Amino acid sequence: MPQLTAITRFPVKGLGPDPLTTVPLRAYQTLPMDRAYAIENGPSPFDDAAPGHVKKKHFLMLAGQAELARLICRYTEFDGRYTVSLDGSTSIAVTLDDADTHQPLFDCLQALVGDAIRGPLRLVHAPDQAMTDIPQPQISLINAASVRDLSTKVGQSLDPVRFRGNLLIDGLSPWEEFELVGQEVRIGGVKCRVESRIRRCAATSVHPGKGERDIDVPAALFEHYGHMDCGLYLTVLEDGEIALGDPFSLA
């Protein structure tokens, strides 16, 4: 039976993955702490008084600043600390909801991406809105077999992390996940609705860890399959906890 083989959140949009072994899901919400914060790259339309969805072009992001993939990032729930290290160097620790602690992180980012900084950096947060590429409160799922199939086509092993999905499942046939759009599925005991395929952008062309564009993934998808999609968006329909190894099936 297909099963859940990885759970990943990205507490700060554009920065590194934070792997989990288990996570509580809430109906009609995103994965907890996934893209909860974003780094404003100079002035943007983000309004602190009425925070909401803002287009990704206003933030630091892998599609624009590939070097961000070199950062190793971890978030700890109990104290809200977010640690970042560059190429294994000494970690920088900040508290995401304490602006007074953020400058060391901004200094690191300034040194890393240089001229890509358009103005003062600022961590922004919308309590009821994840800073994902879409305004809907959904989670993302990747089929490991589809990534392996694409890897075979391009002659290069592709790490599923480059697709920055929340959930990775294995046990389906390549691209079988696309047949699930519009259906309800279960991950462990949690029911979800499959909403749509995910159209991929230039962020997937960045090698995780190296911080450089090594292959044009959207172009490769189109060349070999006639589309630029990989992964699914899901809406969580009920509260529950999921864990690595949970079965994945139709509801």
Query: Which tens digit of pLDDT belongs to each residue from 37-52?
Result: 999 999 888 888 778 8
* Pairing label, strands 167-170, 139-143: parallel
The backbone torsions φ and ψ at residue 10, rounded to the nearest 5 degrees and listed phi first, read -130, 85
List, for residues 231-240, the tens digit of each pLDDT value. 999 999 999 9
Better pLDDT: 230 or 63: 230
Q: Supply the mean pLDDT for the chain.
A: 94
**Cα–Cα distance for residue pair 24/132, rounded to 1 Å:** 19
pLDDT for residue 87 = 78
Rounded average pLDDT over 3-26: 97
pLDDT for residue 188 = 96
List, for residues 147-192, the tens digit of each pLDDT value. 999 999 999 999 999 999 999 999 999 999 999 999 999 999 999 9
**Cα–Cα distance for residue pair 186/190, rounded to 1 Å:** 5
pLDDT for residue 46 = 85
Instruction: Note the pTM of the prediction, 2 decimals.
Output: 0.94
pLDDT for residue 18 = 95
**Residue 54: pLDDT above 90?**
no
Q: Is the dihedral of CA 93, 98, 103, 106 positive or negative?
A: positive
pLDDT for residue 248 = 98
pLDDT for residue 2 = 98
Distances (CA, A) of 223 to 59, 160, 202, 220: 30, 19, 15, 5
**Residue 110: pLDDT above 90?**
yes
Which of 44, 87, 112 is CA-nearest to residue 209?
87
Alpha carbon 60 to its chain's center: 13
Residues of the chain with pLDDT > 70, as a percent, come to 100
pLDDT for residue 35 = 95
In this structure, the dihedral spanned by the alpha carbons of residues 248, 22, 67 and 115, taken in order and rounded to 10 degrees, is 110
The model's confidence at residue 22, banded by pLDDT at 50, 70 and 90, is very high
